[in-house]
Amino acid sequence: MYIELFDTLDENLIDALEKVTKEWAPAIKIISIRVTKPRIPDNLKVLFEKMESERSNYLIEVEKQKTET
């Protein structure tokens, strides 16, 4: 559900499509692609934000333990 590299999705998709069209349909030129950000239901969004918060807290604690020893 979560895509860390969403900002590069457009470029990666256009590169992949250009490779295929060069082989199978050389007369077709891909001009642009725009992938819109998906709409996530509110209940899933809340759960995701909670999970990210817990993950951040865990990483902070791990770093604290490294610096304390």
Q: Do residues 14 and 32 make contact, with C-beta atoms less than 8 angstroms apart?
A: yes
Q: Structural domain boundaries of the chain?
A: 1-37, 39-69
> Global pTM?
0.48
Q: Which residue has the tokens 């999970």?
A: 51
Torsions phi, psi of 10, nearest 5? -60, -50
Query: Per-residue pLDDT tens for 43-67?
Result: 988 998 999 999 999 999 999 998 8
Query: Per-residue pLDDT tens for 33-42?
Result: 888 877 889 9
